[in-house]
A and B are shown apart, each in its own frame.
Chain A
């Protein structure tokens, strides 16, 4: 998991290149570096740390040139060190490469190259790429040919960009199962792991597919098939959102900004074209075995959606964690695998989809990033239109995914003619009003949630409970808490607690209970039962409820009355705010928690 970028132009591009990797920092930020060609020499500066830190030490802007590549790293092979950071150069420093992904056969390749006299300076898999290119070039004296031969030798996943002193006016780049896009500017051309890299300079983008490489000059680009060498036509696409949207504005963290965008997120999800939603509903109805898959937050989104499908559309669609999918699922040409992924590049989910396709299953996706591998690889993708999510933790994208899946469930029921127009309209109205309720929570409850979070931020152990769909909310909220505060939070269904976990309850573990509205019936009463059980064991209970659970909690957050359909969404948002404020109380690195990266593109 890393971010790569490259810029080539008529004038000096150093500053633009630096901005590009800054914009990609959320993909990885343990080390970074840049390589530029000036006076037919490749100059490399790199070091350990986030881009700003490294820039202070290495002074990137002292470099100059009109062609360069850059990298921001999230270590997979080889520790975090200066020598392991990218770019990597060949023995004679004639070539430099930045890479994202994993070259799975790098051990063999390295041994082979070492035998031929290549000296390796790092522990990374990346270095074999650049030495291999050099090796091939020494034989054929043609950069493009050397690149193509190298690609044929590589196994595994990669997106890389390469510069060479033999062709100082060209950036070469290639991809296989790792993301890579080109940006077409008026004076410059860009290469990036995603469009965030260069969105402030151009909105015209070109997607690369697996097994392709591109030859990029300052005013043109050519895409070719890596195995046949045949040129491929590709149209330029225009991105609709702008760089301003990807900036923080007056917010202290992207996480809070993205939470504040949630009222709009709901409205955007309701604006997604009906045909696209109906199509997925149809696909589900046509399939004998539909599955919902996701991993991390998106798995919990799938879990929540499971309840909506059962309750609204009378269809049980099992939610499976993507990483376990191929070991447990029964997949054939009658099944449908619906993948949920914000980035559309999630390794585990891509792998599950590949498995599904190999079994002739149909596939669908709910994806936020346009042109991402999942969006392009499935039979039908619903684009979320949530806008970029920069904070490593998913907040608004997760909310949007749930709203979209509610819509799919409603459309299924409509196709089956099992829902009256009146009920259908009413549910839509409730979703719309839900957006306003989210505004109310943000504008009138933030202080209450913050003060409770600050008071209990020192608590090391949390138990998050909920019943019915609220169990999914509890699991997701616990994940948020873990990700951003590094405190232990365990989510589970309320009924499950009695069967073991209750042994943990004492004054040292706090419990957070997500209460359903009273009209949800039995799960309300049963949730209250949980509270009593915990209190009987001297446990502390923080309850989040809708004003109908009285007098039993040690601490409570009372939300405005909300219809059952959208009540879980409100609880989800309170869970997000509670995690956010707990993290700011602990002075955590909110937008980039330790060990986490935005889209996990490795196994």
Chain B
């Protein structure tokens, strides 16, 4: 069976993170989201992939190539002039011969453990179209999938008007017959309609995934996804080329890659990831759920918790980074604080595309775009978004 993976999405609500990369290329614990998907599929023996690309496609092609590095085969299809999911699916139609089934996977989902295994088991027992469904982690995402006791789906309402009901949603993982392309054409690229046709003509069985699943829609979902993937770090693994000075304390499971240097007095509390060639200075406190990308430079006495630092970033001495995302090549001066909660304990709202969206989180820090420079001694308030390449001057009192 082949797979069709949608990785062309722009992710407009994810600025500034997705301005320079597709959603599927967001790097968490050393790997882009798409790599976790490919590895999950490889685990169940699906090695032939068609990836639909669009926004920032070159970054995907450069990273994954033809898939040789993973022992899989990758071909690309381009989604031209369409932003709809249905349109993206149709752009790969020619890559699939008629007859048989294929995996359809949305390229912006994060899961643990392997969601594809569930889907395949259901497919093997039902031998018909499968939609893997799950209950969303946040009430705002409820859908309404109606099914009978044989888990045959009878009706799908992706975005119900009455939000007081809460029920299953499509997880973005399906096993579909190739006839689905025809139905999609008939439905004028409308996925919800095409599924309705499928339900009527061939039936569509649900496979319920009762484990952790996240669809990356808003910046804070990246932090949730990071936390989720950290669960897969079960035991400590430290590259032999990593160098620790005396008095470094490591607690709980951590993943430390090649050539990492950790200076004396640092404490690392797992689960944590520290990427290749990174440097952690004296007396740093790297707390739970921190993902430090390759070549990060963390100065003296820095504290980091529940945050994702992409690659090549510098964090100056005596700073605090909490519940935040720091982009590629960001340069943070010394003594910068990301404040991660309001004093009245209210949930943090963030301004996204000119609307204030409630993250429903009591603790949320900042989202700092690629190549931004933050001057020393700045205090960044909860939920702040700093655009790519922004330059924020030092904050001096004299």
Contacts and interface: CB of A to CB of B under 8 A. Distances in A.
Contacts of A454: 137
B146 A443 contact: yes
Interface stretch (B49-57, B147-155, B179-187, B244-252): B147-155
Contact of A447 (B130, B146, B168): B168
B151 A444 contact: no
B139 interface: yes
B122 interface: yes
B329 interface: no
A145 interface: no
A250 B209 CA distance: 9
> Which of B118, B130, B138, B150 is packed against the most chain A CB atoms within 10 Å?
B150
A248 B125 CA distance: 9
A447 B142 contact: yes
Interface string A427-453: 000000000000000011111111100
A446 B125 contact: no
B135 interface: yes
Contacts of B147: 260, 443
Interface stretch (B100-108, B200-208, B276-284): B200-208
B125 A247 contact: yes
Contact of A444 (B122, B126, B167, B209): B167
A584 interface: yes
A354 to B, nearest CB: 37
Interface string B348-381: 0000000000000000000000000000000000
A256 interface: yes
Majority SS at the chain A contact face: helix
A239 B367 CA distance: 63
B136 interface: yes
A263 B125 CA distance: 23
B344 interface: no
A252 interface: yes
Contacts of A260: 147, 149, 151
Contact of B205 (A250, A252, A445): A250
Contact of A445 (B122, B151, B165, B210): B165
A546 B137 CA distance: 25
B166 A249 contact: no
B209 A252 contact: yes
A397 B164 CA distance: 30
B15 interface: no
B114 interface: no
Interface in B105-142: 118, 122, 125-126, 130, 135-139, 142
Contacts of B118: 252
A389 to B, nearest CB: 14
Interface in B164-215: 164-168, 205-211
B144 to A, nearest CB: 7
A250 B166 contact: no
Contacts of A448: 139, 142, 165-166
Contacts of B209: 252
> Which of A247, A260, A449 is packed against the most chain B CB atoms within 10 Å?
A260
Given A444-B166, A448-B166, A584 B210 contact: yes
Contact of B144 (A252, A256, A444, A450): A444
A166 interface: no
B151 A249 contact: yes
A263 B126 CA distance: 22
B133 to A, nearest CB: 9
Interface residues of A, number: 24
A582 B68 CA distance: 43
B167 A447 contact: yes
Contacts of B146: 443
A450 B164 CA distance: 14
Contacts of A446: 135, 166-168
A261 interface: yes
A241 interface: no
A253 interface: yes
A443 B167 contact: yes
Contacts of B138: 451
A41 interface: no
A251 interface: yes
Interface in A294-320: none
A251 B166 contact: no
B167 A445 contact: yes
A76 interface: no
A256 B125 CA distance: 17
Contacts of A251: 151, 208
Contact of B139 (A247, A263, A444, A447): A447
Nearest to A584: B210
Interface in A249-273: 249-253, 256, 260-261, 263-264
Interface in A170-220: none
Contact of B149 (A248, A261, A444): A261
Given A250-B206, A252-B210, A256-B210, A447 B151 contact: no
B103 to A, nearest CB: 16
Contact of B135 (A247, A263, A264, A450): A450
B149 A250 contact: no
Interface string B291-324: 0000000000000000000000000000000000
Contacts of A247: 125
Interface in A520-549: none
A247 B125 CA distance: 9
A454 B211 CA distance: 12
Given A446-B168, A447-B166, A250 B130 contact: yes
B139 A443 contact: no
A247 B122 CA distance: 11
B126 A447 contact: no
A257 to B, nearest CB: 8
> Which of B122, B135, B149, B164 is packed against the most chain A CB atoms within 10 Å?
B149
A248 B166 CA distance: 24
A249 B139 contact: no
A444 B135 contact: no
Contacts of B206: 250
A83 B208 CA distance: 39
Interface in A211-253: 247-253
A381 to B, nearest CB: 26
A260 B210 CA distance: 14
Contact of A250 (B135, B137, B151): B151
18 contacts: A249-B122, A249-B151, A250-B125, A250-B126, A252-B209, A252-B210, A260-B151, A443-B145, A443-B146, A444-B144, A445-B165, A446-B167, A447-B142, A448-B139, A448-B142, A448-B166, A451-B135, A584-B210
Interface of A: 247-253, 256, 260-261, 263-264, 443-451, 454, 558, 584
A-B complex: 10 closest residue pairs judged by Cβ atoms: A447-B166, A448-B166, A252-B210, A250-B151, A444-B165, A250-B207, A250-B122, A450-B135, A447-B135, A443-B146
Given A250-B207, A445-B166, A451-B135, 5 more contacts: A250-B208, A252-B209, A252-B210, A260-B151, A449-B166
Interface of B: 118, 122, 125-126, 130, 135-139, 142, 144-147, 149-151, 164-168, 205-211
